[in-house]
Amino acid sequence: MTSSTLRPAVPLLAVIICGCIIAAIGNGIRTSFGLFTLPIVTDLGLTREGYGMAMAIQNLAWGIAQPFAGNFADRVGTARTVAAGAALYALGVVLMSISPNAGILTLTAGVITGVGIAVCSFSVVMAAFGRSVPPEKRTLIFGVATAASSFGQFIFAPISQGFISAFGWHTALIYLGSMLLLIIPLSFALRGRTEHPVGQADLKFMQALSKAWGHGSYRLLVIGFFVCGFHLAFINVHMPAYLVQCGLSPAVGSWTIAVIGLFNIVGSLLSGYLGGRLPKQMLLASIYFLRALAIGIFLIVPVSEISAYTFAAAMGLLWLSTVPLTAGLVSLFFGARYMGMLYGVAFFSHQLGSFVGVWLGGYVYDLTGSYSLVWYLGILLGLGSAAIHLPIHERGAPAFALKPA
């Protein structure tokens, strides 16, 4: 008999620890890119839309590559996938440091870095975790992985700002790119042999995708995840510049991103814990509603250091808390066999939202001199996503069950 788990070549605890460190490094460096907005825009003479487009393309490239990266990891193993992704990610960040204009920046920071992030992302790591632990513990472990990625955001925001202040943005990116190479030896712990799950059909990529899209709850989940990407990317890239526009220092912007990461550790762990005990779709609806409420209050209250940090703490609790719940539902719908690919498809929707959030933020600012319209749109999208998640049902997709002979 086969099992639905990944047979690790190293102890499970080592798999989880190394996977969490990989998630922390990869996500921490990615979320620091918003701190480079003003220095790069000023030095290269770009518009906010120009830099925003590079970051938007990064998110789009990440999203497009994610299902294929997940499918590759599902079939040939996580270790080789993550190691290759880390090398490509590091290359993109280093080349970003010598990009002379918006076009080259879109290629380096956008396409190369985006694909590298996808191939070594915490989505691939979570899929490995999903194949390594029993079904009843998956949502909790997904929460642990998400919390680790958020810890990276907390750590790398001040580190990146310190590098920029001390050495300039060019050298700061080279240092960050070099640190990404640490992922390669860590990926060795994710070696293992994936076994086909009992009771699940053996489907090819397009067959699995077609059957999954026929599951109505999965479609709603994928559509709702677009809003998560919109919120996260807009705030992560544009909020530091928004706070400077409001009269606060760049240091406040970096610490705001760090506070989001710190509080998301709590939010992700709590989400993973509650996801095993309460309906995941109701938790997701609540998260999106509370995001809309938090943004609304932030816009009403005068901007200050206190209001910025308070908003960051509130959003941090809700930041990536959607991820363990969304991943948990994908695993529940379709099992662990297709986790990497089908969560990757959902994540593609997330990254489409990221593309729109990043690009629209820069476009609206250049057009109006303000981010207000995008903030208001974020409220409306949050309310819409909350409503979309309510009809989702927590049950497996029959199309993925193995038909009796």
Domain spans in the chain, listed from the N-terminal domain onward: 10-195+204-400
Q: Give the C-alpha separation, 292 to 315, whole Å.
A: 10
Q: Tell me if residue 5 falls in helix, strand or coil.
A: coil
The closest of 73, 158, 172 to 118, measured between CA atoms, is: 73
Task: Confirm if 339 and 130 have CB atoms less than 8 A apart.
Answer: yes
Q: For residue range 22-76, what is the model confidence (pLDDT) as tens digits?
A: 999 998 998 888 889 889 989 998 887 788 888 889 988 988 898 888 878 877 7
Q: Considering only the top CATH level, what class is 10-195+204-400? A: mainly alpha
- pLDDT-based confidence at 12, cuts 50/70/90? confident
Dihedral sign of CA atoms 258, 84, 22, 288 in order: positive
Residues 72-88 pLDDT 10s = 887 777 888 999 999 99
Angle at 158 between CA 123 and CA 364, to 5 degrees: 70
Cα–Cα distance for residue pair 174/198, rounded to 1 Å: 46
pLDDT at position 405: 42
What's phi and psi for 7, nearest 5 deg? -80, 100
Q: Residue 338's pLDDT is what?
A: 73
Q: Biggest alpha carbon distance in the chain? A: 69
Residue 304 has pLDDT above 90, yes or no: yes
Q: Is the pLDDT of residue 196 over 60?
A: no
pLDDT band at residue 157 under the 50/70/90 scheme: confident
pLDDT value for 237: 82
pLDDT at 120 over 80: yes
pLDDT tens, residue by residue, 231-257? 998 998 888 889 988 999 888 888 898
Q: Which two tokens stand for residue 295?
A: 């943004």
Cα dihedral 179, 233, 346, 92 sign: negative
3-state secondary structure labels for all residues of 157-204:
HHHHHHHHHHHCHHHHHHHHHHHHCCHHHHHHHHCEEECCCCCECCCC
Partner residues linked to 6 by β-bridges: 194
Residue 3: the pLDDT is: 42
Structure confidence at residue 193 (pLDDT): 46
Terminal-to-terminal C-alpha distance of the chain: 17
> How does pLDDT run across 344-398, given as a tens digit for each residue?
888 889 989 988 998 899 889 889 989 999 999 999 999 999 999 999 988 776 6
Mean local confidence (pLDDT), 102-127? 89
User: Which pLDDT does position 4 carry in this prediction?
Assistant: 45
Cα angle, residue 212 at apex, residues 127 and 353 outer, rounded to 5°: 70
CB 93 within 8 A of CB 29: yes
d(CA 81, CA 69): 7
Nearest residue to 144 (alpha-carbon basis) of 236, 17, 242, 232: 17
φ, ψ for residue 345, nearest 5 deg: -65, -45
Provide the mean pLDDT of the chain: 85
CA–CA dist 206, 198 (Å, integer): 21
Alpha-carbon Rg of the chain, whole angstroms? 20
Query: What predicted TM-score, i.e. pTM, was given to this entire model?
Result: 0.77
Which residues, including other chains, have CB under 8 Å from residue 218's CB and lie 6 or more apart? 212, 330, 333, 334, 342, 346, 397
Nearest partner of 140 among 27, 243, 278, 258, judged by Cα: 278
Stretch 300-326: mean pLDDT: 93
- Look at residue 9 and tell me whether its pLDDT is greater than 80: no
Whether residue 309 has pLDDT greater than 70: yes
Contact 340, 124 (CB under 8 A): yes
Residue 7 bridge partners (DSSP): 193
| Nearest alpha carbon to residue 393 among 208, 220, 209 | 220
The 10 Å Cβ neighbour count of residue 68 is 17
Helix (H, G, I), strand (E, B) or coil at 370: coil
Phi and psi at residue 340, in whole multiples of 5°?
-60, -45
Mean pLDDT score, 156-175: 92
Q: Tokens for 227?
A: 């809003």
* Exposure on the CB side of residue 373, measured as CA atoms within 13 A: 11
Say whether pLDDT at 292 is over 90. yes
Q: Which amino acid is at 235?
A: I
